[in-house]
Chains A and B, each alone.
Chain A
């Protein structure tokens, strides 16, 4: 492996951002910036596809490993992917061009800066999924806060300052404990390279505290109940592209973190804390679904539904069954597509009417037929209708959950019913009914760029609904390896205790 493809994928967006920064054209500065950023992100997407294509699915370890001495004699800059992380890289590389196309319509001011922020954010997000070193991971994980803070704060809605601060401080607070844990791991094991840590195995007595420190960071980012409160604010105030990135990728970092770090490094503690995670997940699923029912703001409703869906993800991960974990990964990818699409749909309406309140709509199907159809697909995907990608993830997670605890699975199923309730009700209130409001009668249906974006998402949602194996095949060996290591550690631990 000579060509450093992972670093290229990571760095390319930043290089594109630099080009945009230094390119000067007097007349159509915005157009130029959009073309440049679109070009960069599409090239990056093709690189990611190429990476996926040349990835060896039968090998469970890390591939495309790149190593570079970084902080001499202390930390190595190490990149590599396995079946789990590669999907998130592809997802990120796909979502970014979608965002760029969508922001043409929605971002009115300082478009150039906006595109630069998005591209730099892409670098950080891909870096998170590539890094095989705790410190490198932490740096990318935290660095993403800077562009996201600016995206919410500069281009956001009326309460953007509050939302941006809340987002930044909540996440930072969660992460500093993780930093303490990372440094402690360095002093315990003598390395921060996770492949080595997996082999060395952290002593059991440290695992509980370290697990909690990592948990504090991921739980905020995920977000799990009760630290989810930043998410609705951030989603509501962020511009459409910001919400899309937040829902589709940033939230997935935490799920990825659980899989890669919490389970891989602290199997004993992960097993010990299963009841805690299950409880929080179930509360998240049921409580936030109920909260979502009562929302009047469409974005807030989708934000709360995200929390509920993420509850499924944590539930699935901590079942430690192949079905549960693969279902969680699938659910994350599927939620990345569906929630992104739903936020884009809300964005389409917001660009036209400048309101996100459900009550300001009604009967839209009469004027926006294409839009209503597309929205219907995503709405059905979000509630997990068979044939959409949402179904596969949820059913796998429930399969996993039933093996562990009947009660938990039943409660989670109630969440699915509630999810159907709020989604269908939302759709009914917005799309159906009589078109009474005058300002809605003049609305134009989807334009070309919106059509391309939403249509490609529809295709993907349906495609993965009918052919989930494309994703499941990729993750299969890595998940098996993960579970095998986990079970070995548990068996080893119980035998030594006895």
Chain B
């Protein structure tokens, strides 16, 4: 009998999704009820995973794996979702997209991500990926009466389906050249020169790069971020990225372990291109969601830089970077959901002008988060970059380090521009005052971590270093 405890979170999540779905269908106007149940589900999942954090093992003829690495990412995903839900409630109700399907779709996508992260087999990986993506397509187009939302949903669907196709093609090639779909067995077959498998690896990496929106597969990101309802954008910017990075690290570490020399070049290129494009393209943006899209592309570049070293230190620094990135992005979106003018949420950066006079606390939070995103010490964003570049330089990749750091200077420009608009420009028309404890506490939580991180910067590393992938 297999130890089903290992898959308990997934089982619990699937069952509760079905029960909640039924509740949603049978009660009228059940959005609030379903949302509250979702909170409970997420919190219980967190408890379950915390309880079994260090248990590891595999299931179902080695196609499903659980260990501290997957558990860490699952916790990150759950926390990300929880905070995203907290900060978006007001927005969802005001935009009248408060249908009970909304939280359920979030749960579905989380379930997909869980399976994807824990996959140890190409088949289960692909199934998890598709479950996640399908839920996200619908979410992108969730504001049905809004043309832009529909457009972004379609765009995301078409492009993502294409990338899934490439990914699937890569998977089938891998199976063809190695004779197995299991990650570890694929790795064993790679010991001998296997050109076909390298060919397959490229396709798989392309598919994954699309999911984490690394250059040159980033085209969808700005449009989808801008078009989707802001609540969905905040989810996109945080949660699927975590899952994508997790599975990317697992891929390069298990099935492609022997192909380090080959995938290293690909990742270095993607990393360089993402950092530079993220920095340069964001300068001209006026829509804050588009700007965040480009900034997230840039940040993915730094994460990829850590992975591209191919060392344990490198992977760990990427994991640490991802965690800090999540905290910063939650803070940014928290601020965005607090800014309203004449009953409309601000999307144009110029609308932020003069915020420092009317709402000094929000302005200072924005300031902290922006400087942290720019990677200025002593904020947490600096340490994230610092760890990545330590491992990059350890591997002797000086070009990557120098270009990466120069691109932080370029990207500092647009973060500074936001601060300039908030602090230096004169106020145009006043902001609506929003009092929302959930959002303010999220922002407070994010800023406190970012500011106080320097007191004990090794806390995150100590956790990350204990994670075991195998």
Contact = CB atoms under 8 A, between A and B. Distances in A.
B371 interface: yes
Given A143-B376, A176-B405, A180-B402, A149 B393 contact: no
A139 B377 contact: yes
A173 interface: yes
B423 interface: yes
Given A138-B377, A146-B371, A180-B401, A153 B412 contact: no
A135 B462 CA distance: 19
A187 B412 contact: no
Contacts of B382: 139, 142
A72 B387 CA distance: 13
Nearest to A185: B393
B269 interface: no
B428 interface: no
Contact of B377 (A72, A143, A153): A143
A71 B461 contact: yes
Interface residues of A, number: 33
A153 B394 CA distance: 38
Nearest to B408: A176
A142 B378 CA distance: 8
A113 B393 CA distance: 39
A169 interface: yes
Interface in B337-365: 356, 360
B457 A179 contact: no
Contact of B423 (A139, A142, A153): A153
A145 B405 contact: no
B217 interface: no
B416 A74 contact: no
A168 B370 CA distance: 14
A154 B458 contact: no
Of the listed residues B377, B406, B419, B461, the one surrounded by the most CB atoms of chain A closer than 10 A to its CB is: B377
Contacts of A173: 406, 409
A258 B241 CA distance: 43
B389 interface: yes
A187 B394 CA distance: 6
A183 B420 contact: no
A160 B425 CA distance: 11
B289 to A, nearest CB: 24
Interface in A181-214: 183-184, 186-187
Interface in A158-176: 160-161, 164-165, 168-169, 172-173, 176
B418 to A, nearest CB: 12
Interface string B356-399: 10001000000000010000111000100010011001100010
A191 to B, nearest CB: 13
A149 B370 CA distance: 13
B270 to A, nearest CB: 21
Contacts of A172: 376, 408-409, 412
A32 B82 CA distance: 42
Interface string B444-457: 00000000001001
A150 interface: yes
Contacts of B412: 168-169, 172
A183 B408 CA distance: 16
B458 to A, nearest CB: 4
B126 interface: no
A72 B405 contact: no
A177 interface: yes
A70 interface: yes
B169 interface: no
A180 B389 contact: yes
B424 interface: yes
Nearest to A184: B393
Contacts of A184: 393, 398
Contacts of B420: 153, 161, 164-165
A72 B376 CA distance: 21
Contacts of B394: 187
Contact of B457 (A70, A145, A150, A180): A70
B389 A183 contact: yes
Q: How many B residues touch the partner, as a band?
A: 20 to 34
Contact of B378 (A74, A139, A179): A139
B220 interface: no
A165 B414 CA distance: 10
A71 B423 contact: no
A327 B147 CA distance: 71
A153 B356 CA distance: 13
Contacts of B457: 70-71
A169 B401 CA distance: 18
B460 to A, nearest CB: 10
B369 to A, nearest CB: 13
A177 B376 contact: no
B413 interface: yes
Contact of A142 (B377, B390, B416): B377
B398 A180 contact: yes
Contacts of B401: 180, 183
A169 B409 contact: yes
A70 B376 CA distance: 19
A161 to B, nearest CB: 6
Nearest to A160: B424
A295 B437 CA distance: 55
Contacts of A177: 402, 405
B458 A74 contact: yes
B458 A72 contact: yes
A137 to B, nearest CB: 11
A200 B358 CA distance: 55
A392 B441 CA distance: 57
B216 to A, nearest CB: 25
Contacts of B389: 179-180, 183
Contact of B458 (A70, A140, A153, A187): A70
Interface in A447-483: none
A176 B409 contact: yes
B405 A180 contact: yes
A149 B416 contact: yes
B416 A168 contact: yes
A72 B390 contact: no
Contacts of A145: 376
Interface in B36-54: none
B301 to A, nearest CB: 15
Contacts of A183: 386, 389-390, 393, 401
Contacts of B413: 165, 169
Nearest to A112: B360
Nearest to B393: A183
Interface string B200-224: 0000000000000000000000000
A180 B393 contact: yes
Contacts of A187: 393-394
Contacts of A135: 386
Contacts of B423: 150, 153-154
Nearest to A73: B458
A414 to B, nearest CB: 37
Interface string A40-51: 000000000000
Contacts of B402: 176-177, 180
A145 B457 CA distance: 21
Interface of A: 70-72, 74, 113, 135, 138-140, 142-143, 145-146, 149-150, 153-154, 160-161, 164-165, 168-169, 172-173, 176-177, 179-180, 183-184, 186-187
8 contacts: A139-B382, A140-B378, A149-B419, A153-B424, A154-B423, A154-B424, A173-B409, A180-B402
What are the 6 tightest A-B residue pairs by CB atom distance, in nearest-first order? A176-B405, A139-B377, A72-B458, A183-B393, A71-B458, A142-B377
Given A139-B377, A154-B423, A172-B408, 11 more contacts: A70-B458, A72-B458, A140-B377, A146-B371, A153-B424, A161-B420, A169-B416, A176-B402, A180-B401, A183-B401, A187-B394
